A = this chain, B = another copy of it.
């Protein structure tokens, strides 16, 4: 059985019951990659969000929906434990941060002041650093008060879900994505390769937001030896580049 796992779309981290922090991604590129593999007779597990675009071809496709990085982590881990994948193509835009706490400017100032009054002056730099850190790290159910001009939203780093892929399936082929904003091609390639190495990826698709427009999308596929496999100018061509590279590899 030829099996592929594809993630696509962007995560949404809840701030409260009516607001989220969302990572922009239409899911279009992931859906094109899925369609290409489906056309080659692969079974595709497609992990996405309810609002992202999906592959049109439904034959051989299994959809799995997630909303935030926590659900992504759970579903991805579960799928990787169920069956071996020929490849995992992780194109989802995953949030680096998730809301941990929020304060109005007034409440934040009040909290810092409360702590300061427990100390005797003068305060050291370390006193201030430590109390800001304590205040920040108190995680509570975030509930936005609209009764303030300024609001502090404290975000904490999310765990790197991508690291789990090779931990659970060391023999799968991992294709990761790196999106930067307005950098030189040299920097783009460097940062993309570093990120691939850190996650034990086999290929990385490097792209820059300033080269993504309606109808065009520049992307470069680089392998773990640092070889530029190829470049593409549209989402359809990027999908073809990735699919052809993985199918050729299998045919070798």
Main secondary structure of the interface of A (DSSP, over half): mixed
Contact residues of A between 109 and 130, Cβ < 8 Å to B: 109, 112-113, 116-117, 121-123, 125, 128-129
Given A18-B24, A18-B93, A20-B22, verify A150-B128 contact (CB < 8 Å).
Answer: no
A193 within 8 A of B: no
A59 is an interface residue with CB less than 8 A from chain B: no
User: Is A216 engaged at the interface, CB distance under 8 Å to the other chain?
Assistant: no
Distance A104 CA – B105 CA, assembled complex (angstroms): 17
For chain A, give the interface size range: 35 or more
Task: State whether the Cβ of A236 lies closer than 8 Å to any Cβ in chain B.
Answer: no
Copies of this chain present in the complex amount to 2
Binary contact track A191-229/B, C-beta < 8 Å → 1, others 0: 000000000000000000100000000000000000000
Supply 13 further A-B pairs (C-beta < 8 A) apart from A105-B133, A151-B155.
A16-B181, A20-B21, A97-B144, A105-B136, A109-B129, A109-B132, A109-B133, A113-B125, A113-B128, A113-B129, A150-B157, A151-B154, A153-B154
Measuring CB to CB, which residues of chain A are less than 8 angstroms from any residue of chain B?
Answer: 12, 15-24, 51, 93, 95-97, 100, 105, 108-109, 112-113, 116-117, 121-123, 125, 128-129, 132-133, 136-137, 144, 146, 148-157, 179, 181, 209
